[in-house]
Amino acid sequence: MPENVGFVVALMLSAVLAAAALPSENIVYPRIIQSRDQNGEKTLYIRPGLVLSLEKSRVFSDNFVFSEDDGVNRHDRFLDGKDLEKNFYQDRNHTSVVFVDEEKGTVQVRGILDNKFSIEPIASNGRSEDDLVAHSLLDLDDIDNPHGDDSAQDLSLHAKDVGPSTPEVTERKLKNVPEKFIVEVRIFSDPSHGPNKTMDDFIQFFGIVMSKVNQYYSRLTRPKVQFIVLSITKLTNYTFTYLLPDPVRNITRVSLCGTLGSFYKYLNATYTRDERDAIVFVTSLSGGNVGGCSGYCTVCGDNPITTNTMGFGRIGRWEPGTIAHELAHSLGMSHEGECPVFYTPGKEGLRCKKQEFGSVMGSGKPPHYFSRCLQDQARGCLMRKTKRCFDLTGGKPLF
């Protein structure tokens, strides 16, 4: 690069960083230092002390569908899930999830690093003299809840019939819970995320988010739980979103729990129960002081919908955290420290102490995501499900 051109590029990049109030230590130039194409492994250098050993991440069904739906007409596009996943990676320590785009010798990275940072390319596309793309690192604590701390609550609706059967029946049902449970998920995004978002935007955003959700659940055992995304639907109107006017703030809010009912009508008319283990409905509208809503142990049930509010920008802890939280309720989990709604035989009073709490449903710290008490609650929920719940209908096993 000619010296004068390099000087101009440096000035332009410095101006961008100053405008964004980014200190120089938060600017990095990622590069691949080792790649093994046969098994998809890569070594990604971010900066000294932050080097990731990456492996392929599985998150989409082999038979993936992207749809646009206006409430009357739906347009489907069928895609190869394995092809969509070619740029999604996770590190072997299960603390990072990234989308790595290698094009014309450059590397662009988006995602979450080491449970501490968010990374994405700088919009100006500034480059070093080695033609490396400038990226910004932000602490996850600085980009958490886009709706403020007042929406940190969620609402979970108790099932009507949660009483245990006889000990003999429950023991037999517990033995029927498989070692591995692949939960088939359909994601729906309402129009609040913007009309200009493309199919690639949705696939990249939710691919990163759900890869992180899977990292949380990778710590569960008996059964090991993993989510695969069967489809993403871009809703083009608010027909099935329960909207509430907020004249004081002059905005329109969403009733997340109300949407459980209104969206169920659409769901019931569109898919059979065998075609949806869990539904993730996402909006960027404010839910007031509520960030999500779901029922208890609704996976594979009549209304397996979880509703979540989040932005569609830079991914922090909030986006995967709120989806993982509501899906935990759908698997029968209460908040850490609360009395269990579901449990295995002899564990009806099992409550963990604060030092055992996980981070998804309580005040624990990553990478401790779920306490042993919540794992028992998930087993207590799943032992009430039929074999059909555990059968795959839209994708092949990932394990």
Rounded Cα gap, residues 289 and 15, in angstroms: 38
**Token code pair at residue 180:** 């591995």
Q: Please say whether the dihedral angle defined by the alpha carbons of residues 180, 181, 184 and 188, taken in this order, is positive or negative.
A: negative
Integer CA distances (angstroms), 198 to 66, 97, 308, 369, in order: 11, 21, 20, 32
Please name which of 241, 231, 180 lies closest in space to residue 210, comparing C-alpha atoms. Answer: 231
Helix (H) or strand (E) holding 26: none
The answer to whether 210 touches 323, Cβ cutoff 8 Å, is: yes
**Token code pair at residue 267:** 């769901």
Residue tagged 């070594």 (tokens): 43
Rounded Cα gap, residues 148 and 309, in angstroms: 11
Is 325 known as a binding-site position?
yes
Rounded Cα gap, residues 334 and 338, in angstroms: 6
> Known catalytic residue: 102?
no
Helix (H) or strand (E) holding 357: none
Q: Mention every residue, 6+ apart, whose C-beta is less than 8 A from residue 26.
A: 136, 137, 138
Please list the residues that pair with 229 across neighbouring strands: 60, 185
Please name which of 303, 121, 106, 327 lies closest in space to residue 209, comparing C-alpha atoms. Answer: 327
The answer to whether 177 touches 222, Cβ cutoff 8 Å, is: yes
Helix (H) or strand (E) holding 76: strand 74-80
Rounded Cα gap, residues 202 and 200, in angstroms: 5
Rounded Cα gap, residues 294 and 160, in angstroms: 14
Residue among 25, 326, 336, 348 flagged as catalytic = 326
As annotated, the active-site residues are 326
Binding residues for Zn(2+): 325, 329, 335
